[in-house]
Amino acid sequence: MDVHVFVDGAAFPNPGRGAYAAIVRVGDTERVIVQGYQLTTNNRMELRGVIAALESLEHPSRVRVVSDSTYVVLGIGWTKKWRARGWRKSDGKDVLNVDLWQRLVRVCRDHNVEFEWTRGHSGHTENERCDVLAAKCALEGDLILDEGYRGSGGSCNVSASGAAYMASWLALAHPGCTRRRASWSLRRAHLICLMASTPWGCEGAARRTKTT
């Protein structure tokens, strides 16, 4: 069975609130997988998107993964050397996000996976869709803890400028976004900023800004 996977991840700021989106396409059928996290990094979201897509497959498959992340597309080719060195890079430093790299290696064993890089924001239809879905989820989705991230448990510290930028970008990028919705998204972004600065932290802010 041939499967096409398109993935993108985002974090605002980086590290900060984040999410991934993956489109899994088999023939004329596709499904979308989206998940957001309270505090994470862009690279972890790129990795988690690929992992989620591959782990969703019920049978061994030939899979082409399309991503705009050179970290993922190049990194998967370095994993054999990293593993041989005890998950250390050539300079002797520990590989970052080793929990996700090990998980990706394991799930790739169940399939015949090829990775293809595409330039981000270049008009690639599925990549642009994933980009918008990930950013929207990071802003408005139900966010969970990114277990394995060393920075987990702290405040997301969303800056007002960062949240406002994210909301404004979504207003321009999302095809169905009207001026009225864009204005509400911007106000919601500032509300998130205020809540994130309270003792509730990022988790409280996420819990109090669920979409309807």
List active site positions: 8-9, 46, 68, 121, 131
Neighbours of 113 (CB within 10 A): 19
Q: Which of 40, 39, 38, 42 is nearest to 7 (CA)?
A: 42
Tokens 């790129």, located at residue: 46
What gap in Å lies between CA 153 and CA 3, rounded to an integer?
A: 36
C-alpha distance from residue 202 to each of 1, 21, 37, 129, 161 (Å)? 41, 21, 10, 26, 16
Query: Phi and psi dihedrals of 132, rounded to 5?
Result: -65, -45
Q: Which residues contact 21 (CB under 8 A, 6 or more apart)?
A: 7, 8, 9, 32, 33, 34, 49, 129, 130, 131, 133, 134, 137
CA torsion angle 31 121 162 8 (round to 10) = 30
The owner of tokens 């979409």 is 211
